[in-house]
Amino acid sequence: MKKIFLSFLSISTLMLTIGKVYAQKPSSELLTPTNHALVFIDLESQMGFATKNIGMDELRNNVGIVAGASKIFNVPTVVTTASEKSFSGPVFIELSEFYPEASYIDRTTMNTWEDVNVYKAITGMNKKKIVFAGLWTSVCIVEPALSAKADGYDVYVITDAAGDMSREAHEMAINRMMQAGVKTMTSIQYLLELQRDWARSETYKAVTDLIKKYGGTYGIGVQYAHEMLKH
């Protein structure tokens, strides 16, 4: 009887151990610093002038969060512009802060997927997941997102780091992409999904500093906690 009881305990311990291992395995749907490429599209002055679905201050902060996150976690990133010198103008400073102008790929196509240089830059990173952010949602985000999806990529769009000429234009574009299987997320969600665990001390300070700078009320809360609780 004692042997049977001990055997039962051993099996139970093994089952708990196996269960714990399975419980700790994250979903393959989640983004990690190494499983995706990030693409910023046309975050430029001329595009920003007409963006109405989101306040410009909020949009710029969200771009700063995403750009900063990609630098902190060394995410392979492409920045592409549309006729930067002749029409669309400079990129947001929240983007150029992390990615200098010399790294941008300028183009004339509305669909980045149809531009040879941008296409090679994105696909050359050899990542099956691609994350898009930029302006405008209904044109320069929809077109490459659907094109990449059709080519077999797992596509994500950061909806609050994108914008359009009206709320309807933005929302209809998001709906269209979701119907095609594109996944959506927000800028803070992107940052925290990469951090995932506050015990990751190597990125903790950089992440919380980024939140304090660009995270709005969330950033104020983090600043308060650091000052008042001293951690």
The catalytic residue positions are 140
What is the torsion angle, in degrees rounded to the nearest 10, for the CA atoms of residue 204, residue 205, residue 207 and residue 211?
130
- What is the DSSP secondary-structure string of 106-138? EES-SSGGG-HHHHHHHHTT--SEEEEEEE-II
How far apart (Å, rounded) are the C-alpha atoms in residues 229 and 219? 15
Q: Where would I find the H helices in 83-215? A: 93-96, 116-123, 142-150, 167-179, 187-195, 201-214
